[in-house]
Chains A and B, each alone.
Chain A
Amino acid sequence: MTTQDALFEYLLRLGDNTLILGHRVSEWCGHAPVLEEDIALANTALDLIGQTQMWLGLAGEVEGKGRSADDLAMLRDVWDFRNVLLVEQPNGDFGQTILRQFLFDAFHFDLLTGLTKASDDRVASIAAKAVKEVTYHLDRSSETVIGLGDGTEESHTRMQAALDRLWPYVGELFAADEVDAAMQDAGIAPDLSELSSSYHTRMSAVLAEATLVAPEGGFAHSGGKTGFRHSEHLGHLLTQMQWLQRAYPGAQW
């Protein structure tokens, strides 16, 4: 694998994470429990879609086959997506959505912070822009996880159930493969094992404050970021997200 190929693959991972999570969060628009959360979730979704445009735009440029960010987002099929399994998981209840957001935000924040020092200026400048948005996402999601975890009996029960369900998707975030190794060698990506220790320190602090307990055991699902095997949920998401471009190719707003 050339560095160029690895960079393309790596940019797809970054862009697909934000695209799929952004779409998932946008599904709440008009359905959130209170107006304030509805707007906040929509803002988060829009931030993530904006970041997607930058990552996939750069991916298309690096690939050099003339594919735009829109082409990559709307005209690839399930097996071509490189997002982690965590972000394609269904919204569930509000607590599950917020917990998924927190688990991803904490990783996203450290990753982007590392990427601001990338040897590739294009990557560093996108990361610098995105990390400002993600700082707020993380601030908001961790505070909400604490509020709901250490809230009423019902909110606590729901948050603990969400954590039990989603925790097995955390391991994939830090599972390094040859793409990660190539990017780290090229001075672009940060070391995932360092990220993992900072992540788990943050998790312990926030989860303790939220009176939530992460499940024992290190089982981790995998197959999302490599594209080897996505969960059944991604295909359903794509049919909704892509149907317009599939039914009316090239349609413009």
Chain B
Amino acid sequence: MSKEWPLWEVFVRSQHGLNHRHVGSLHAPDAEMALKNARDVYTRRNEGLSIWVVEARHITASSPSDKGPLYEPSESKVYRHPTFFDIPDEAGHM
């Protein structure tokens, strides 16, 4: 067994009702201590109302080398942006 504590990714929801946002990572022996460490490391200045922690190994990330196949096909599809509708005057500013 590794002697290092596993790495955890920390997500904090701020005061303003937004979604949880990734704020950084830390090491901790288990989920409970990860929450406590997150409280101590990332919410010292009154940043948070709610904390999520997830062990970094549980996150599946896309690979930068797959950039071409993953994202290029959407570059040429401007019709996917909802910019081709005439908004009736009565609808006002959207």
Contacts and interface: CB of A to CB of B under 8 A. Distances in A.
Given A39-B40, A143-B33, 4 more contacts: A35-B41, A36-B40, A39-B41, A43-B44
Interface residues of B, number: 13
Contacts, number: 29
A143 B36 contact: yes
Interface of B: 5, 26-29, 32-33, 36-37, 39-41, 44
Nearest to B40: A40
Contacts of A147: 29, 33
Q: Looking at chain A's contact residues, is the secondary structure mostly helix, strand, loop, or mixed?
A: helix
A58 to B, nearest CB: 25
Nearest to A151: B29
A140 interface: yes
Contacts of A35: 26-27, 41
Contact of A40 (B5, B29, B37): B37
A137 to B, nearest CB: 11
A34 B33 contact: no
B41 A36 contact: yes
A43 B33 contact: no
Nearest to A139: B36
Contacts of B29: 147
